[in-house]
Amino acid sequence: MEPVQQTRLTLRGWLLMAALAGIWGGSFTANHAALAAVPVASVVAARVLGAALALWAFVALSRLPVPRDRSFVITCLGLGLFNVALPFSLIVWAQSHVASGLAGILNAGTALFTVLLAALVFPDERLTANRLLGVLLGLGGVAIIVGPAALTQMDLTSLGQLAILLAGVSYAGASVFGRHRLRGIRPEVSAAGMLTVGAAIMVPAALILDGLPTRLPPPTALAALAYLALLASALAYRLYYTILAQAGAGNLGLVTLLIAPLAVLFGRIAFGESLPPEAVLGLALLSLGMILLDGRLIRRLFRPARPRRP
């Protein structure tokens, strides 16, 4: 049997990941701004409904083919729940009690969960020794950030941190679930279908939990909602599925590491947030773990020197 070729990130893949990280890094700041005037469920509902409408408009204008088989519907249902409605709700609720920078760091745990799940499912994303060490270091970083108090005190801050980690598990499962099921489908169509299911879940939930809005939110909150819908969802998920098809679920999970420092930077600029020392130490361990997971820098550092030609 021939060895399975392992998935790798190309330069184009890294550039797409950097763009995606920049967009999603700003989403934590946008969540913070929107929550100042809009309830949790309504923030999520506005985000996914606006994104779905924007993507379906693009699909219609571009005349992209839309699958009508049961498999595509089932895939959209699964991704709409586990890649949109559940993690979006958990993260936005958590940010009512957790600073946006810290939320971005905890969200980096998604990469670890994705690598572990992908290794169990896909032969071309197996867990090599350096990837296993990277996962263990990353999990150690997450444990330092959260701390034992999160499991003993169970206050709103602790519950918020655990909610973000649970969102990461949900994202990881969705990435693994969607990798092969969406082959041959345009990323705009995949994202539109998934976000439509998310909207079908969150719009009724917002009406039940928050009721009809009685007044228009202030311009800052409206701008934040527009950012979340058009950039952090419609455009971001188009990039997401493009990278997923090219680089695999485990490699795509690395985007959350790139998001973390950007979320910290944006939170500090916009709201003057500061991080406790344990969060900085945890981020350092997470970063080291991701470097080992990717493996490129390690291979370059320890690559035998080529003999010079005489």
- How far apart CA 103 and CA 113 sit, in angstroms, is 16
pLDDT band at 10 (very low <50, low <70, confident <90, very high): confident
Q: Is residue 5 part of a domain?
A: no
What sign for the dihedral angle of Cα 304, 116, 235, 8?
A: positive
Q: What is the mean pLDDT of residues 139-148?
A: 75
Q: Is residue 1 part of a domain?
A: no
pLDDT band at 96 (very low <50, low <70, confident <90, very high): very high
Structural domain harbouring 216: 12-299
Amino acid 306: pLDDT: 53
| Least confident residue range of 107-111, 233-237, 278-282, 295-299 | 295-299
Number of domains in the chain: 1
Q: Is residue 216 part of a domain?
A: yes
- How far apart CA 19 and CA 125 sit, in angstroms, is 23
Alpha helix positions (H), the chain: 11-35, 40-62, 70-79, 86-94, 100-107, 109-121, 129-146, 149-152, 156-181, 187-210, 219-226, 236-247, 249-252, 255-271, 277-294, 296-302
pLDDT tens for 238-276 read 888 888 777 776 667 667 777 878 888 888 888 888 777
Please give the single-letter amino acid code of residue 51.
A
Instruction: Say which residue, 109 or 67, is predicted with more confidence.
Output: 67
**Statement: residue 68 has pLDDT above 70:** yes
Q: Is residue 111 part of a domain?
A: yes
Q: Is residue 147 part of a domain?
A: yes
Do 203 and 74 meet the contact criterion of CB atoms below 8 Å apart?
no
Q: Is residue 222 part of a domain?
A: yes
**Statement: residue 3 has pLDDT above 60:** no
Q: What is the mean pLDDT of residues 42-52?
A: 97
Q: Is residue 150 part of a domain?
A: yes
Q: Is residue 308 part of a domain?
A: no
- How far apart CA 186 and CA 305 sit, in angstroms, is 43
